[in-house]
Chains A and B, each alone.
Chain A
Amino acid sequence: MRRKLVLIIVLFGLCGIAPLKAGEVTDSAGRTISVPEEVNKVFASGPPASVLVYVLKPDALTGWPRALRDNEKPYIAPAQRELPELGRLTGRGDTANLEVVLKVAPDLIIDFGSIRETYISLADIVQMRTSIPYILVDGRFEATPTALRLVGNALGVSERGERLAQYTEKLFADLDATLHAIPEDQRPRVYLARGPDGLETGLKGSINTEIIERAGGRNVADPGDADIRRGIVQASMEQVLAANPDTIITWDRTFFETVWNDPLWAKVDAVQKGRVYLSPLLPFGWIDRPPSLNRLIGLRWLAGIFFPEHFRQDLRAQVREFYSMFYHVDLDEAALDTLLAGARGSRPQ
């Protein structure tokens, strides 16, 4: 009831301020929002949304939640490398100031992530206070094609959204077809090692390991049916040794470099077989950080690691294609080398 009231107020507000031709968009929370016909400036509410907007319509992005680091810049189109840092709106630790949002004066605010009451109410409040339309987009990995179409439509680039959505659907379909033929017990047992000691991990079912499981890996950090919050937890070395994973995925360079010479980790199958893989992180992570479209290339990479006979892949060509298609950059050999260092694992000498 209150939300409707808020919406009415907002609509009135929009009519008063912006007599542009308005199209209507229904977002993932079921809110119907009027969006200007031409959206040229978008405020991304957090890191996942900034990737989504950058991929679909880079010129519309007004800033990054956090300024790009120097090593990330070569993997981003030149026009977006120096965009200002605007902070984030979502979550408790708001670092974006509403005044900053108003100063940027975007045509649209986009949030890409989980659809919870907290975020819905935040969107309603911001929309009411700023009179800027605010849409919520479901960030679950499976919903990626829908998100691409929805936001492509809202930004007036529905053709591009459709093309990327089809790329994603094909990737999912290829993977499903392969996984269908591989019984559960022949799939790799995977451990996600986080932190410099590798003893932080994501539980099975958490957003942090979502794509490892989607790619057909069996996450060894499995608390069974226990009804607990799935997220990042601490593991002990003993648990790792007991689980004895045959594949380890990490994005921590310190861990990746020290694991080969560590007497404790040397007992783990994955280390003995040289199956520890360092996830590329540029310009966005391949596994997580942030949980957005950047995980698509990670999915392809993991499928190749988990099932090399079924996904005989040319990683360099696929990466080059993906980065050109999604990130608007053509990578040269040196950039590819930097990006993929460690992505093929290594064998202890």
Chain B
Amino acid sequence: MSVRDVSCASHLPAWGIVGTLTVATVLLAVSASLVGAYPVSLAEAARIVFRWLSGTSNGSTAETVLLEVRLPRIAAALLAGAALAGSGAVYQGLFRNPLVSPDILGVSTGAGLGAVLGIFLSLPIILIQGFAFIGGLATVAMVYAIAAAVRGREPILVLVLAGVVISALAGSMISLLKVLADPYDQLPAITFWLLGSLSSIRPADVWSVLPAILLGLVPLVLLRWRINVLSLGDDEAKTLGIEAGKLRIIVIAAATLMTASVVAISGVIGWVGLVMPHIARMLVGPNFDRLLPASMLLGAAYLLGVDTLVRTMSQVETPLGILTAFVGAPFFLWLLARGRHGWE
């Protein structure tokens, strides 16, 4: 199937699916804002939002819960899901491999190492997040630099292998810090961070990652057609007049920026970036033009759904990363058993 075929086939239904996903995500977000540990009724929520829109406040606890705790968390879940699934879709196309997730070049492990180092040094939360963000970016930059220095005949293979090696190295450095950490307070904090959670999201977190995610998203949207070409392979891209190497570095940088910024506030959340692009591809096909919005919407809705489950299911919060794996892993196995339908 060539690019041209894909873009023409089933044009309308695909956009219809994207529209339906948008509506479903909005509805999910509205209903998620009405459930939680602190009871806030629909009427009360409407009054609070109305007051907020008119710029007044009555300082009630319900208002704090809705505006300062619940809505930021919902926004963070939407952003994180969208960013992870979006970068997953990009990477799967880029590496021409359906088993690729956004962590393939070590962004999560690198961010994890940064955050663990921050916890180990007992830094304030804002610096822990900063360390995680920089750790993620630096790791991918290092992987790319190594791959560029090696200059193998298979640039993608070298890139993936460098990612695996550097990830493993960062992983063992995390283990070393765990051994050295204070077992009474640092070790639990490290464990929770590495399992991912949105429980301590604050409005400031959302405002600080939003620009980074948009910054990463803009090149992906602008370059969506070229990314399609890239997924055909370097030689094909060259015959179509696209320099694969240059394009790849921009796309990797954009996807890494998106992933690193959400991982910095949410911790490591697996499976969203791996599984959601697959479902999106089954729904709208492999054309990146529609695959990107569909993946992002699915990722946003999925992560919001799981996080809402996490925070309402019981008194105790199950770390988000555990639940996404419990749902994601069986689904992925099912996909494998079903064959690679929807990819080819």
Contact = CB atoms under 8 A, between A and B. Distances in A.
A221 B192 CA distance: 17
Contact of A197 (B38, B64, B200, B319): B200
B70 A238 contact: yes
Given A95-B179, A254-B124, A285-B184, A234 B317 contact: yes
Count chain B CB atoms within 10 A of each CB in A223, A239, A263, A290 and give the residue with the most. Answer: A239
B315 A289 contact: no
A241 B319 contact: no
Contacts of B192: 200, 234
Given A228-B316, A238-B311, A242-B37, A197 B125 contact: yes
Q: How large is the interface on B (under 10, 10 to 19, 20 to 34, 35 or more residues)?
A: 20 to 34
A254 B197 contact: no
B315 A267 contact: no
B22 interface: no
Nearest to A268: B61
Given A237-B69, A242-B38, A223 B314 contact: yes
Nearest to A262: B202
B188 A203 contact: no
A282 B29 CA distance: 47
Contacts of A252: 185
Contacts of A95: 179
A211 to B, nearest CB: 14
A241 B185 contact: no
Interface in A57-106: 93, 95
B187 to A, nearest CB: 9
Nearest to B72: A237
Interface residues of A, number: 37
Interface in A216-253: 221-224, 226, 228, 232-239, 241-244, 251-252
B171 to A, nearest CB: 17
Contacts of B314: 223, 226
Contacts of A221: 315
Contacts of B202: 264
A235 B69 CA distance: 12
Contact of B68 (A200, A222, A239, A263): A263
A267 B61 contact: yes
A92 to B, nearest CB: 11
A224 B314 CA distance: 10
Contacts of A197: 125, 200
Contacts of B158: none
A85 to B, nearest CB: 12
Interface string B175-189: 000010000110011
B179 A93 contact: yes
B200 A199 contact: yes
A111 interface: no
A288 B192 CA distance: 19
Given A238-B73, A241-B64, 12 more contacts: A194-B185, A194-B188, A200-B192, A223-B314, A224-B315, A234-B192, A236-B37, A236-B317, A241-B69, A251-B185, A263-B68, A289-B185
Interface of A: 93, 95, 194-197, 199-200, 203, 221-224, 226, 228, 232-239, 241-244, 251-252, 254, 263-264, 267, 285, 288-290
8 contacts: A200-B189, A226-B315, A232-B188, A234-B199, A234-B319, A236-B73, A238-B37, A267-B61
